[in-house]
Amino acid sequence: MNKNLDVLINDNEDIEVILLIEAIWHKYGYDFKGYSKAHIKRRIKRRMVLSGCNSILDMAKRVLDEREFFESLLSDFSINVTEMFRDPEFYKVFRREVVPILRTYPFLKIWHAGCATGEEVYSMAILLKEENLYDRSQIYATDFNTHVLEKAKEGIYSIEHIREYTQNYQRAGGAASFADYYIANYQSVIFDSSLKKKIIFADHNLVTDGVFGEMQVILCRNVLIYFERDLQGRVIKLFDNSLCSGGFICLGTKETIKYTDSSDKFEEFSDTQRIYRKKFIASKD
């Protein structure tokens, strides 16, 4: 059994959670064994209540027999908490300290790993437009959840959050009127199609998939907190292998590269905003 699930088992429910995760791996190829056990158990119990199942074992049978039911649980497991210009101070620091370095590149490749429904992808697109970097950038937005990827591609969001998003944009150092970037349509806002021109949305699983190009910037904010330490280390190694020398990794404020096997390959660029820069590899000549 995977060592990330080889934990002290307090009751039958813990055993059932392990069996369900193993069943998903063998049946569908999705590996959640390295996810935070508290997160997984909480999401399983929520789905159990919603579905009317009497036990986790009952859920496991439905997961194995019903693809549609599995898809519902898969959505529960994915991390979809996001918003436009989330943590505005991060975007202020990125604009002020990272952007001047990005200007030195003739072309930029930026990877949003675990992009969820895309709000933070469009936030970065807006920032790049305002800094005149968008036209020489390629943004890759990935997630393992194809349903949220479709929502991200649409760029349509509920109007009820727009006031909060506008405030975030302003606190993030926005240089224009936030309303310039979307059209309000009844209870929704539709973001300008020009923001999508340089965005490629793609299915990618941080747990099971491999290296993703050679990027100048990788953003994976508030995803690693849902992983156990071993999986965090594997993902940081994946990012290391997907990043050019001198490139940047941007994590959430509660996440860190410290204590991973790859930590010596990076230097802190902004400790408060968890921005790390990959060290340059010395020439052998």
The answer on 247 and 179 residing in a single domain is: yes
Kindly state whether residue 250 falls inside one of the protein's structural domains: yes
End-to-end Cα spacing for the chain: 47
pLDDT at res. 212 = 85
The answer on 135 and 57 residing in a single domain is: no
User: From edge to edge, which strands make up the β-sheet containing 182-185?
Assistant: 156-158, 188-191, 182-185
The answer on 59 and 101 residing in a single domain is: no
pLDDT at res. 162 = 94
- Give backbone dihedrals phi and psi of 70, rounded to 5 degrees, phi first: -60, -40
**Separation of alpha carbons 108 and 138, rounded Å:** 6
The answer on 163 and 36 residing in a single domain is: no
pLDDT at res. 283 = 53
Residue 271: which residues within 8 A CB-CB, separation 6 or more?
none
* Residues of the chain under the 50 pLDDT cut: 1-9, 285
130: nearest Cα among 84, 181, 168: 181
The answer on 51 and 95 residing in a single domain is: no
pLDDT at res. 132 = 97
The answer on 54 and 163 residing in a single domain is: no
**Separation of alpha carbons 151 and 189, rounded Å:** 13
pLDDT at res. 150 = 94
The answer on 271 and 205 residing in a single domain is: yes
Which residue's structure tokens are 């675990």?
114
Kindly state whether residue 227 falls inside one of the protein's structural domains: yes
Neighbours of 23 (CB within 10 A): 17
The answer on 226 and 165 residing in a single domain is: yes
Kindly state whether residue 263 falls inside one of the protein's structural domains: yes
The domain in which residue 160 lies consists of 88-278
Kindly state whether residue 226 falls inside one of the protein's structural domains: yes
pLDDT at res. 80 = 81
**Separation of alpha carbons 180 and 106, rounded Å:** 28
Which of 44, 77, 110 delimits the end of a domain?
A: 77
Which of 22, 52, 77 delimits the end of a domain?
A: 77
The answer on 154 and 51 residing in a single domain is: no
pLDDT at res. 78 = 84
Total count of domains within the chain: 2
Kindly state whether residue 181 falls inside one of the protein's structural domains: yes
**CA separation, residue 241 to residues 35, 115, 157, 233, 279 (Å):** 22, 19, 34, 12, 12
pLDDT at res. 8 = 35
The answer on 179 and 48 residing in a single domain is: no
The answer on 152 and 58 residing in a single domain is: no
